């Protein structure tokens, strides 16, 4: 240990300038041969990665817009479909109501005719029964009086 302590110089001599020159030249050489190419490769990679990320974001944005337009058009088409369906149902209901009203009128007319026919038949039956009752009464009277 003591031998090592004796070899350390506390006062710099001329070799320090050579050491500084070697360090500076190594910085230039390493910068030119190692650091610049590595940094260029890293920046290129970052640019490609960042560019791809931007491209992916743009694609996602376009897909989102397309999906939004599709959903809006789908919603609009559904609304139009429902509107058309409601319109057709309303038309069918009104047509059905008209048919029902027509059938009711026909039924009421037939019912009135049938009532009139029944009243006429009843009157005929009454007249026939009245005539028959008078004939039977005459027969009974004749039989009673012959006895």
What is the residue-level pLDDT of the chain in tens, covering all 147 positions? 455 556 666 676 778 888 899 999 999 998 899 889 999 998 888 877 777 788 888 899 999 999 999 999 999 999 999 999 999 999 999 999 999 999 999 999 999 999 999 999 999 999 988 888 888 888 888 888 886
- Let me know how many helices (H) and strands (E) the chain has, helices first: 3, 0
Hey, what are 142's tokens? 């004749």
| CA–CA gap between residue 133 and residue 138 (Å, rounded) | 8
Query: Counting every residue, how long is the chain?
Result: 147
Domain ranges of the chain: 20-107
Cα angle, residue 139 at apex, residues 137 and 140 outer, rounded to 5°: 65
CA distances 130 to 3, 103, 110, 136, Å, are 166, 39, 29, 10
Q: Which of 110, 86, 89 is nearest to 102 (CA)?
A: 110
């Amino acid at each position: 240990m003591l031998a090592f302590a004796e070899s350390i110089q506390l006062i710099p001599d001329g070799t320090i300038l050579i050491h500084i020159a070697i360090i500076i030249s190594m910085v230039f050489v390493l910068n030119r041969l190692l650091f610049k190419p590595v940094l260029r490769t890293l920046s290129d990679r970052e640019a490609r990665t960042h560019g791809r990320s931007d491209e992916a974001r743009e694609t996602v944005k376009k897909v989102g817009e397309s999906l939004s337009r599709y959903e809006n058009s789908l919603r609009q088409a559904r609304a139009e479909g429902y509107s058309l369906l409601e319109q057709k149902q309303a038309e069918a209901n009104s047509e059905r109501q008209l048919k029902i009203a027509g059938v009711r009128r026909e039924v009421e007319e037939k019912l009135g005719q049938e009532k009139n026919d029944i009243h006429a038949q009843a009157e005929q039956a009454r007249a026939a029964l009245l005539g028959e009752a008078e004939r039977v009464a005459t027969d009974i009277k004749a039989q009673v009086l012959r006895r």
